Amino acid sequence: MLARPIEIRARSRVLRPRGLSPAPSPPIVLTGLGLTQILAWGSSYYLPAVFAVPIAAETGWHLTWIVGGLSLGLLVAGIVSPRVGHAINQHGGRFVLAASSMLLGLGLAVLSQAENLPLYFLAWLIMGIGMGAGLYDAGFATLGKLYGVDARRMIVTLTLFGGFASTVCWPFSAFLVEQVGWRDACLVYAAIHLLVALPIHLLVLPNRNRRESGPTLIQPGDSPGTELVVRKHLAAFVLMTSAIALCSVISSVVSVHLLTILQAGGLSLASAVALGALVGPSQVGARVIELLFGRYYHPIWTMLGATMLVAIGLALLLSGFPIIVLALIPYGAGIGIESIARGTLPLALFGPRNYAALMGRVALPSLIAQAVSPSAGAVLLQYGGTFAALSALTALAALNIALVAALWFAAKKAAIPI
Protein backbone atom coordinates (compact mmCIF):
# COMPACT_ATOMS: atom_id res chain seq x y z
CA MET A 1 0.00 0.00 0.00
CA LEU A 2 2.92 2.32 0.73
CA ALA A 3 4.55 1.72 -2.64
CA ARG A 4 1.54 2.44 -4.83
CA PRO A 5 1.99 6.25 -5.16
CA ILE A 6 5.64 5.78 -6.09
CA GLU A 7 4.62 3.34 -8.80
CA ILE A 8 2.06 5.78 -10.17
CA ARG A 9 4.53 8.65 -10.35
CA ALA A 10 7.11 6.46 -12.03
CA ARG A 11 4.59 5.29 -14.61
CA SER A 12 3.64 8.89 -15.26
CA ARG A 13 7.25 9.80 -16.09
CA VAL A 14 7.75 6.79 -18.32
CA LEU A 15 4.65 7.45 -20.36
CA ARG A 16 5.34 11.16 -20.89
CA PRO A 17 5.39 11.65 -24.68
CA ARG A 18 8.75 12.48 -26.23
CA GLY A 19 9.24 16.09 -27.15
CA LEU A 20 6.72 17.30 -24.56
CA SER A 21 8.22 20.04 -22.42
CA PRO A 22 7.91 19.51 -18.68
CA ALA A 23 5.02 21.05 -16.83
CA PRO A 24 5.78 24.41 -15.19
CA SER A 25 7.36 24.51 -11.74
CA PRO A 26 4.74 23.41 -9.17
CA PRO A 27 5.84 25.94 -6.48
CA ILE A 28 5.39 28.85 -8.91
CA VAL A 29 2.02 27.60 -10.16
CA LEU A 30 0.76 26.79 -6.66
CA THR A 31 1.82 30.15 -5.26
CA GLY A 32 0.15 32.00 -8.12
CA LEU A 33 -3.05 29.97 -8.03
CA GLY A 34 -3.10 30.06 -4.23
CA LEU A 35 -3.01 33.85 -4.16
CA THR A 36 -5.71 34.17 -6.81
CA GLN A 37 -7.87 31.58 -5.01
CA ILE A 38 -7.71 33.64 -1.81
CA LEU A 39 -8.78 36.72 -3.75
CA ALA A 40 -11.51 34.92 -5.72
CA TRP A 41 -13.10 33.35 -2.64
CA GLY A 42 -12.68 36.45 -0.50
CA SER A 43 -14.26 38.83 -3.02
CA SER A 44 -17.19 36.58 -3.97
CA TYR A 45 -18.26 33.73 -1.65
CA TYR A 46 -17.12 35.51 1.54
CA LEU A 47 -18.10 39.02 0.42
CA PRO A 48 -21.67 39.23 1.86
CA ALA A 49 -20.45 38.31 5.35
CA VAL A 50 -18.91 41.79 5.61
CA PHE A 51 -20.77 43.76 2.94
CA ALA A 52 -24.37 42.67 3.55
CA VAL A 53 -25.08 44.94 6.54
CA PRO A 54 -23.50 48.09 5.01
CA ILE A 55 -25.38 47.46 1.75
CA ALA A 56 -28.65 47.07 3.67
CA ALA A 57 -27.98 50.20 5.70
CA GLU A 58 -27.43 52.35 2.59
CA THR A 59 -30.02 50.88 0.24
CA GLY A 60 -32.76 49.74 2.61
CA TRP A 61 -32.91 46.34 0.90
CA HIS A 62 -33.79 43.33 3.02
CA LEU A 63 -30.85 41.14 4.01
CA THR A 64 -32.59 38.16 2.40
CA TRP A 65 -32.32 39.80 -1.02
CA ILE A 66 -28.74 40.87 -0.42
CA VAL A 67 -27.57 37.40 0.57
CA GLY A 68 -29.71 36.03 -2.26
CA GLY A 69 -27.20 37.59 -4.65
CA LEU A 70 -24.64 35.03 -3.52
CA SER A 71 -27.18 32.22 -3.98
CA LEU A 72 -27.75 33.43 -7.55
CA GLY A 73 -24.00 33.53 -8.13
CA LEU A 74 -23.53 29.96 -6.90
CA LEU A 75 -26.46 28.77 -9.01
CA VAL A 76 -24.96 30.35 -12.12
CA ALA A 77 -21.54 28.93 -11.24
CA GLY A 78 -23.05 25.46 -11.11
CA ILE A 79 -24.81 25.89 -14.44
CA VAL A 80 -21.65 26.99 -16.27
CA SER A 81 -19.28 24.52 -14.56
CA PRO A 82 -19.63 21.70 -17.15
CA ARG A 83 -18.67 24.11 -19.94
CA VAL A 84 -15.81 25.45 -17.84
CA GLY A 85 -14.52 21.93 -17.28
CA HIS A 86 -14.79 21.14 -21.00
CA ALA A 87 -12.91 24.33 -21.89
CA ILE A 88 -10.09 23.52 -19.47
CA ASN A 89 -9.98 19.95 -20.77
CA GLN A 90 -9.62 21.20 -24.35
CA HIS A 91 -7.43 24.27 -23.91
CA GLY A 92 -5.94 24.24 -20.42
CA GLY A 93 -6.74 26.57 -17.56
CA ARG A 94 -4.77 29.69 -18.51
CA PHE A 95 -7.41 31.60 -20.40
CA VAL A 96 -10.32 30.20 -18.39
CA LEU A 97 -8.85 31.42 -15.12
CA ALA A 98 -7.84 34.70 -16.75
CA ALA A 99 -11.44 35.11 -17.90
CA SER A 100 -12.61 34.46 -14.33
CA SER A 101 -10.47 37.38 -13.11
CA MET A 102 -12.00 39.67 -15.73
CA LEU A 103 -15.54 38.52 -14.99
CA LEU A 104 -15.14 38.87 -11.22
CA GLY A 105 -13.63 42.32 -11.74
CA LEU A 106 -16.48 43.34 -14.04
CA GLY A 107 -19.11 41.94 -11.68
CA LEU A 108 -17.64 43.82 -8.72
CA ALA A 109 -17.53 47.03 -10.77
CA VAL A 110 -21.21 46.61 -11.64
CA LEU A 111 -21.98 45.82 -8.00
CA SER A 112 -20.38 49.10 -6.94
CA GLN A 113 -22.88 50.97 -9.14
CA ALA A 114 -25.99 48.99 -8.15
CA GLU A 115 -28.74 51.44 -7.22
CA ASN A 116 -31.55 48.89 -7.56
CA LEU A 117 -32.02 45.16 -7.09
CA PRO A 118 -32.09 44.21 -10.82
CA LEU A 119 -28.62 45.75 -11.29
CA TYR A 120 -27.48 44.13 -8.05
CA PHE A 121 -28.53 40.69 -9.27
CA LEU A 122 -26.98 41.36 -12.69
CA ALA A 123 -23.68 41.95 -10.90
CA TRP A 124 -23.98 38.61 -9.10
CA LEU A 125 -24.92 36.87 -12.35
CA ILE A 126 -21.65 38.10 -13.89
CA MET A 127 -19.74 37.18 -10.75
CA GLY A 128 -21.38 33.75 -10.77
CA ILE A 129 -19.88 33.02 -14.17
CA GLY A 130 -16.53 34.19 -12.81
CA MET A 131 -16.93 31.96 -9.73
CA GLY A 132 -17.68 28.96 -11.92
CA ALA A 133 -14.52 29.67 -13.94
CA GLY A 134 -12.25 30.56 -11.04
CA LEU A 135 -12.97 28.81 -7.73
CA TYR A 136 -11.74 25.40 -6.50
CA ASP A 137 -13.19 23.22 -9.24
CA ALA A 138 -11.52 25.22 -12.00
CA GLY A 139 -8.27 25.33 -10.04
CA PHE A 140 -8.34 21.56 -9.43
CA ALA A 141 -9.11 20.94 -13.10
CA THR A 142 -6.19 23.15 -14.16
CA LEU A 143 -3.77 21.30 -11.89
CA GLY A 144 -5.04 17.95 -13.13
CA LYS A 145 -4.57 19.09 -16.72
CA LEU A 146 -1.01 20.26 -16.02
CA TYR A 147 0.29 17.46 -13.81
CA GLY A 148 -1.95 14.45 -14.41
CA VAL A 149 -1.77 11.79 -11.70
CA ASP A 150 0.89 13.83 -9.87
CA ALA A 151 -1.63 16.60 -9.10
CA ARG A 152 -3.01 15.15 -5.86
CA ARG A 153 -0.49 16.77 -3.51
CA MET A 154 -0.86 20.09 -5.35
CA ILE A 155 -4.64 20.00 -4.99
CA VAL A 156 -4.20 19.52 -1.24
CA THR A 157 -1.80 22.47 -1.10
CA LEU A 158 -4.22 24.67 -3.07
CA THR A 159 -6.94 24.01 -0.50
CA LEU A 160 -4.53 25.17 2.20
CA PHE A 161 -4.26 28.51 0.44
CA GLY A 162 -8.03 28.69 -0.01
CA GLY A 163 -8.55 28.01 3.67
CA PHE A 164 -7.07 31.44 4.44
CA ALA A 165 -9.50 33.34 2.20
CA SER A 166 -11.77 34.50 5.01
CA THR A 167 -8.82 35.05 7.36
CA VAL A 168 -7.22 37.45 4.87
CA CYS A 169 -10.21 39.02 3.15
CA TRP A 170 -12.68 39.54 6.01
CA PRO A 171 -10.38 41.98 7.86
CA PHE A 172 -9.35 43.60 4.56
CA SER A 173 -13.00 43.99 3.51
CA ALA A 174 -13.91 45.46 6.90
CA PHE A 175 -11.01 47.91 6.62
CA LEU A 176 -12.08 48.99 3.12
CA VAL A 177 -15.72 49.43 4.12
CA GLU A 178 -14.70 51.55 7.08
CA GLN A 179 -12.28 53.69 5.06
CA VAL A 180 -14.00 54.17 1.69
CA GLY A 181 -17.46 52.54 1.92
CA TRP A 182 -18.72 49.31 0.36
CA ARG A 183 -19.07 50.70 -3.18
CA ASP A 184 -15.47 51.87 -3.47
CA ALA A 185 -14.39 48.68 -1.70
CA CYS A 186 -15.94 46.73 -4.59
CA LEU A 187 -13.93 48.87 -7.00
CA VAL A 188 -10.74 48.14 -5.06
CA TYR A 189 -11.38 44.41 -5.35
CA ALA A 190 -12.20 44.81 -9.05
CA ALA A 191 -8.89 46.59 -9.60
CA ILE A 192 -6.98 43.86 -7.76
CA HIS A 193 -8.58 41.22 -9.98
CA LEU A 194 -7.60 43.09 -13.15
CA LEU A 195 -4.17 44.35 -12.09
CA VAL A 196 -2.95 41.44 -9.95
CA ALA A 197 -4.94 38.21 -10.48
CA LEU A 198 -5.27 38.54 -14.27
CA PRO A 199 -1.51 39.00 -14.87
CA ILE A 200 -0.74 36.13 -12.47
CA HIS A 201 -2.96 33.76 -14.46
CA LEU A 202 -1.46 34.87 -17.76
CA LEU A 203 2.15 34.76 -16.60
CA VAL A 204 2.18 31.69 -14.34
CA LEU A 205 0.08 29.25 -16.36
CA PRO A 206 1.39 27.87 -19.69
CA ASN A 207 -0.21 28.64 -23.01
CA ARG A 208 -0.41 25.05 -24.10
CA ASN A 209 -2.18 21.76 -23.61
CA ARG A 210 -0.52 18.86 -21.83
CA ARG A 211 -1.22 15.39 -23.14
CA GLU A 212 -2.19 13.30 -20.16
CA SER A 213 -0.12 10.30 -19.26
CA GLY A 214 -0.52 7.64 -16.65
CA PRO A 215 -3.37 5.25 -15.91
CA THR A 216 -6.77 5.97 -17.38
CA LEU A 217 -10.04 4.10 -17.68
CA ILE A 218 -10.27 4.87 -21.38
CA GLN A 219 -8.60 2.30 -23.59
CA PRO A 220 -6.76 3.00 -26.86
CA GLY A 221 -9.26 3.49 -29.62
CA ASP A 222 -12.03 4.63 -27.28
CA SER A 223 -13.73 7.98 -27.67
CA PRO A 224 -11.90 10.58 -25.57
CA GLY A 225 -15.14 12.22 -24.41
CA THR A 226 -16.39 12.21 -20.86
CA GLU A 227 -19.58 10.44 -21.97
CA LEU A 228 -17.63 7.20 -22.32
CA VAL A 229 -16.31 7.38 -18.76
CA VAL A 230 -19.76 8.16 -17.38
CA ARG A 231 -21.45 5.36 -19.35
CA LYS A 232 -18.82 2.73 -18.53
CA HIS A 233 -18.77 3.53 -14.82
CA LEU A 234 -22.14 5.15 -14.27
CA ALA A 235 -22.75 3.73 -10.78
CA ALA A 236 -19.38 4.91 -9.46
CA PHE A 237 -19.77 8.33 -11.06
CA VAL A 238 -23.30 8.88 -9.71
CA LEU A 239 -22.34 7.72 -6.19
CA MET A 240 -19.25 9.92 -6.13
CA THR A 241 -21.09 12.98 -7.42
CA SER A 242 -23.96 12.41 -4.99
CA ALA A 243 -21.60 12.12 -2.02
CA ILE A 244 -19.79 15.33 -2.96
CA ALA A 245 -23.07 17.18 -3.49
CA LEU A 246 -24.41 15.96 -0.15
CA CYS A 247 -21.28 17.27 1.56
CA SER A 248 -22.02 20.64 -0.03
CA VAL A 249 -25.58 20.56 1.31
CA ILE A 250 -24.38 19.91 4.86
CA SER A 251 -21.50 22.39 4.86
CA SER A 252 -23.62 25.17 3.29
CA VAL A 253 -26.38 24.84 5.88
CA VAL A 254 -23.98 24.64 8.82
CA SER A 255 -21.72 27.49 7.65
CA VAL A 256 -24.70 29.85 7.35
CA HIS A 257 -26.69 28.76 10.42
CA LEU A 258 -24.04 27.52 12.89
CA LEU A 259 -24.21 30.61 15.10
CA THR A 260 -28.01 30.36 15.21
CA ILE A 261 -27.79 26.68 16.17
CA LEU A 262 -25.24 27.35 18.92
CA GLN A 263 -27.22 30.27 20.33
CA ALA A 264 -30.37 28.15 20.39
CA GLY A 265 -28.44 25.83 22.71
CA GLY A 266 -28.09 28.63 25.25
CA LEU A 267 -24.79 30.24 24.24
CA SER A 268 -24.33 33.99 23.98
CA LEU A 269 -23.45 35.49 20.60
CA ALA A 270 -19.86 36.11 21.73
CA SER A 271 -19.46 32.50 22.90
CA ALA A 272 -21.04 31.16 19.71
CA VAL A 273 -18.68 33.23 17.56
CA ALA A 274 -15.65 32.10 19.59
CA LEU A 275 -16.61 28.43 19.30
CA GLY A 276 -17.63 28.71 15.65
CA ALA A 277 -14.19 30.13 14.88
CA LEU A 278 -12.72 26.70 15.76
CA VAL A 279 -14.10 25.24 12.53
CA GLY A 280 -11.56 27.12 10.37
CA PRO A 281 -8.40 25.97 12.19
CA SER A 282 -9.81 22.43 12.30
CA GLN A 283 -10.17 22.49 8.53
CA VAL A 284 -6.62 23.71 7.99
CA GLY A 285 -5.19 21.25 10.53
CA ALA A 286 -6.88 18.30 8.83
CA ARG A 287 -5.62 19.48 5.45
CA VAL A 288 -2.07 19.63 6.76
CA ILE A 289 -2.38 16.03 7.97
CA GLU A 290 -3.71 15.04 4.54
CA LEU A 291 -0.79 16.85 2.89
CA LEU A 292 1.72 14.94 5.01
CA PHE A 293 0.19 11.47 4.85
CA GLY A 294 -2.28 11.46 1.94
CA ARG A 295 0.26 9.91 -0.42
CA TYR A 296 0.02 6.62 1.48
CA TYR A 297 -3.66 5.88 0.85
CA HIS A 298 -6.33 6.23 -1.82
CA PRO A 299 -8.51 9.39 -1.79
CA ILE A 300 -11.62 7.26 -1.24
CA TRP A 301 -10.39 6.76 2.33
CA THR A 302 -10.03 10.54 2.63
CA MET A 303 -13.66 10.86 1.55
CA LEU A 304 -14.80 8.14 3.93
CA GLY A 305 -12.90 9.74 6.80
CA ALA A 306 -14.42 13.12 5.95
CA THR A 307 -17.98 11.81 5.99
CA MET A 308 -17.43 9.96 9.26
CA LEU A 309 -15.91 13.00 10.98
CA VAL A 310 -18.79 15.22 9.82
CA ALA A 311 -21.33 12.66 11.06
CA ILE A 312 -19.60 12.39 14.45
CA GLY A 313 -19.52 16.16 14.89
CA LEU A 314 -23.18 16.62 13.98
CA ALA A 315 -24.29 13.68 16.12
CA LEU A 316 -22.50 15.18 19.12
CA LEU A 317 -24.19 18.53 18.52
CA LEU A 318 -27.57 16.80 18.20
CA SER A 319 -27.04 14.87 21.44
CA GLY A 320 -26.40 18.07 23.36
CA PHE A 321 -22.88 16.94 24.19
CA PRO A 322 -21.70 19.35 26.90
CA ILE A 323 -18.24 20.02 25.42
CA ILE A 324 -19.15 21.69 22.14
CA VAL A 325 -15.50 21.99 21.12
CA LEU A 326 -15.36 18.19 20.79
CA ALA A 327 -18.24 18.37 18.32
CA LEU A 328 -16.97 21.27 16.20
CA ILE A 329 -13.40 20.01 15.79
CA PRO A 330 -14.30 16.71 14.06
CA TYR A 331 -16.93 18.50 11.99
CA GLY A 332 -14.42 21.13 10.84
CA ALA A 333 -11.77 18.50 10.13
CA GLY A 334 -14.22 16.49 8.04
CA ILE A 335 -15.31 19.49 5.99
CA GLY A 336 -11.67 20.45 5.52
CA ILE A 337 -10.55 17.18 3.98
CA GLU A 338 -13.81 16.75 2.04
CA SER A 339 -12.81 19.71 -0.11
CA ILE A 340 -9.58 17.83 -0.88
CA ALA A 341 -11.41 14.61 -1.77
CA ARG A 342 -13.65 16.65 -4.06
CA GLY A 343 -10.61 17.28 -6.25
CA THR A 344 -8.51 14.14 -5.73
CA LEU A 345 -11.17 11.42 -5.79
CA PRO A 346 -12.30 11.93 -9.42
CA LEU A 347 -8.65 12.00 -10.48
CA ALA A 348 -7.84 8.76 -8.64
CA LEU A 349 -10.98 6.90 -9.77
CA PHE A 350 -11.19 7.98 -13.40
CA GLY A 351 -7.63 8.93 -14.32
CA PRO A 352 -6.19 12.19 -15.68
CA ARG A 353 -7.71 11.98 -19.15
CA ASN A 354 -10.80 14.21 -19.31
CA TYR A 355 -10.36 14.99 -15.61
CA ALA A 356 -11.10 18.68 -16.16
CA ALA A 357 -14.34 17.93 -18.01
CA LEU A 358 -15.37 15.44 -15.32
CA MET A 359 -14.72 18.05 -12.63
CA GLY A 360 -17.11 20.37 -14.43
CA ARG A 361 -19.83 17.74 -14.22
CA VAL A 362 -19.09 16.99 -10.59
CA ALA A 363 -19.29 20.69 -9.74
CA LEU A 364 -22.75 21.21 -11.25
CA PRO A 365 -24.91 19.53 -8.55
CA SER A 366 -22.50 20.57 -5.80
CA LEU A 367 -22.67 24.29 -6.56
CA ILE A 368 -26.43 24.21 -7.07
CA ALA A 369 -26.72 22.49 -3.68
CA GLN A 370 -24.63 25.26 -2.14
CA ALA A 371 -26.98 27.83 -3.67
CA VAL A 372 -30.28 26.42 -2.38
CA SER A 373 -29.31 24.67 0.87
CA PRO A 374 -29.03 27.72 3.17
CA SER A 375 -32.59 28.78 2.33
CA ALA A 376 -33.86 25.25 2.93
CA GLY A 377 -32.01 25.19 6.24
CA ALA A 378 -33.59 28.47 7.26
CA VAL A 379 -37.08 27.09 6.57
CA LEU A 380 -36.30 23.94 8.57
CA LEU A 381 -34.99 25.99 11.51
CA GLN A 382 -38.00 28.29 11.43
CA TYR A 383 -40.67 25.59 11.35
CA GLY A 384 -38.92 22.59 12.94
CA GLY A 385 -36.43 24.16 15.30
CA THR A 386 -32.82 23.34 16.03
CA PHE A 387 -33.47 19.71 16.93
CA ALA A 388 -35.21 19.02 13.60
CA ALA A 389 -32.45 20.77 11.66
CA LEU A 390 -29.64 18.90 13.41
CA SER A 391 -31.54 15.61 13.09
CA ALA A 392 -31.88 16.12 9.34
CA LEU A 393 -28.21 17.08 8.97
CA THR A 394 -27.06 14.08 11.00
CA ALA A 395 -29.24 11.77 8.93
CA LEU A 396 -27.78 13.20 5.72
CA ALA A 397 -24.26 12.73 7.12
CA ALA A 398 -25.01 9.09 7.92
CA LEU A 399 -26.44 8.63 4.43
CA ASN A 400 -23.23 10.03 3.02
CA ILE A 401 -21.17 7.39 4.80
CA ALA A 402 -23.35 4.77 3.13
CA LEU A 403 -22.88 6.47 -0.26
CA VAL A 404 -19.09 6.38 0.05
CA ALA A 405 -19.19 2.73 1.16
CA ALA A 406 -21.38 1.94 -1.86
CA LEU A 407 -18.90 3.83 -4.04
CA TRP A 408 -16.10 1.56 -2.77
CA PHE A 409 -18.09 -1.55 -3.72
CA ALA A 410 -19.04 -0.08 -7.12
CA ALA A 411 -15.43 0.77 -7.86
CA LYS A 412 -14.25 -2.72 -6.89
CA LYS A 413 -16.96 -4.28 -9.04
CA ALA A 414 -15.93 -2.13 -12.00
CA ALA A 415 -12.26 -3.14 -11.46
CA ILE A 416 -11.26 0.46 -10.71
CA PRO A 417 -7.96 0.32 -8.74
CA ILE A 418 -8.39 1.35 -5.08
CA–CA separation, 126 and 102 (whole Å): 10
> Residue 394's CB: how many other CB atoms inside 10 A?
21
Span 6-60, pLDDT tens digits = 333 333 443 344 444 455 688 899 999 999 999 999 999 888 878 888 998 999 9
**Residue 226: predicted pLDDT:** 56
Mean pLDDT of 92-120: 96
Span 68-96, pLDDT tens digits = 898 899 999 999 999 999 899 888 899 99
- CA separation (Å) from 353 to 208, 221, 350, 362? 16, 14, 8, 15
Span 364-377, pLDDT tens digits = 899 898 888 888 88
Residue 16, in any domain of the structure = no
CB 206 within 8 A of CB 95: no
269 and 324: one domain?
A: yes
Residue 418, in any domain of the structure = no
Look at residue 224 and tell me whether its pLDDT is greater than 70.
no
Q: Which domain holds residue 147?
A: 24-204
**Residue 235: predicted pLDDT:** 87
Mean pLDDT of 395-404: 96
Residue 189, in any domain of the structure = yes
CA–CA separation, 342 and 240 (whole Å): 9
**Residue 379: predicted pLDDT:** 85
Span 285-334, pLDDT tens digits = 999 999 899 888 999 999 999 999 999 999 999 988 778 888 999 999 99
Residue 8, in any domain of the structure = no
62 and 135: one domain?
A: yes
Span 125-150, pLDDT tens digits = 999 999 999 999 999 999 988 888 88
Span 168-223, pLDDT tens digits = 888 898 899 999 999 999 999 999 999 999 999 999 998 765 544 444 444 333 33
95 and 129: one domain?
A: yes
With 0-12 / 13-18 / 19 or more C-beta atoms within 10 angstroms meaning exposed / middle / buried, residue 189 is: buried
Angle formed at CA 74 by CA 259 and CA 187, multiple of 5 degrees: 90
Q: Where are the alpha helices (DSSP H) in 224-354?
A: 226-232, 234-264, 269-276, 279-293, 299-319, 325-350
Region of poorest pLDDT, from 160-164, 179-183, 287-291, 385-389 = 160-164
Domain count, the chain: 2
Residue 121, in any domain of the structure = yes
**Residue 53: predicted pLDDT:** 84
129: domain CATH number is 1.20.1250.20
Task: Using CA atoms of 71, 75, 77, 79 in order, give the dihedral in degrees to the nearest 10.
Answer: 180
189 and 260: one domain?
A: no
With 0-12 / 13-18 / 19 or more C-beta atoms within 10 angstroms meaning exposed / middle / buried, residue 65 is: middle
